[in-house]
Amino acid sequence: MGNYKFIITGIIFALFIAIVSFETGYKKGSQEDLSYAAEKASSSVVNIFISNRGVNRTRNAVGSGVIFSKEGHIVTNTHILTNATSVFVEFNDGEIAEAILIGADNYSDIAVLKINGFEGLNPIESAESSNIRVGDEVLAIGNPFGVGKTVTSGIISATGRDYGNPYLELLQTDAAINPGNSGGALLNEEGNLIGINSSIYSKTGTYSGIGFAIPSEKVIQVASEIIKFGKVRNSWIGDFQVRQIRLNLNNNLISALSIIKIDATSGIGNPLELNGVSVGDIILKINDLPATWKNLTTALKLTLPGDEILFEIYDKDNNREVLVKTVASS
């Protein structure tokens, strides 16, 4: 009987050791994954400086950027380039190059720079930010306060955030983001770009646990448009006029837009009419947001040609949804 007790005790002890080893190994593996992710993306993230004109111009560290293409395109935030007369990019090895501005978009806060004459650039790899889940581990790489490239870690706290712009559907993270991180990379555990860090919520102007990043899909979409056309082309759904009204719907007063005129369009036809929208229709929602003039114009500004805008149209019998495909304005 004593031998059996010894054997059972030995088995339990062995199982305990196996469980502890497994958990320890898992945690260690996770840390190694994050270290690998940081190392993988580090050479694809740059520091950005701006300066004013003059012989004694000084370079001020203002933010970060990511290498977007082997041809030398750098993606960053528009807001960090305000009042810049010259822009400089600092690479991982400390080398500094002057960059030219290809184009900038105020609505998405995405700008594209370009450096010439550099070979062996390492463009950042991207992942689909739409696959990101709340709780996923992330890394932020940037140049906070100009101290140099810095890596911080955290999780995705929320997705689809409206922080000043409802159409960007920002990612929210608790990874430490401070002034200077703007334009830098938000990475998943594989070291792939899921967003461009753009802003923080803070009463002091420094890290308070709430940071926001522009999703990678929007970054790629806008940056590609700027590289190809030098700007983000305006989307167009036809010439029409609306009037802001208050509609009593189920004993609730809501904001709505009444379509009072749709102009005929030669050649391609009016996109609204082609999708069954007509004068007298009342728009209740635009991309699931209240139908206001501001939301309509913002949707057009942030929707690239070829994308679709979802309208919910009021009908006494049954409201209907209409997808209108945008085209480039002439």
Catalytic residue among 157, 182, 216, 235: 182
- The verdict on whether 182 is a catalytic residue reads yes
40 secondary structure, DSSP code: H
Burial track 197-226 (b if 16+ CB lie within 10 A, e otherwise): bbbbeeeeeebeebbbbbbbbbbbbbbebb
The DSSP secondary-structure symbol of 146 reads G
Q: Is 65 exposed, middle or buried (0-12, 13-18, 19+ CB in 10 A)?
A: buried
The catalytically annotated residue of 109, 129, 199, 235 is 109
> 42, 43, 51, 79: which one is catalytic?
79
Q: How many CB atoms lie within 10 A of CB 245?
A: 13
Kind and range of the H or E element at 321? strand 320-325
Residue 199: strand pairing partners = 212
Q: Does the annotation count 109 as an active-site position?
A: yes
Other beta carbons within 10 angstroms of residue 327's beta carbon come to 16
Give the Cα separation of 296 and 311 in Å (integer).
10
* 30 belongs to the catalytic site: no
Whose tokens are 């309208």? That residue is 311
Strands 185-187 and 137-142: antiparallel
Q: What contacts 220, CB < 8 A, 6 or more positions away? A: 126
| Active-site amino acid positions | 79, 109, 182
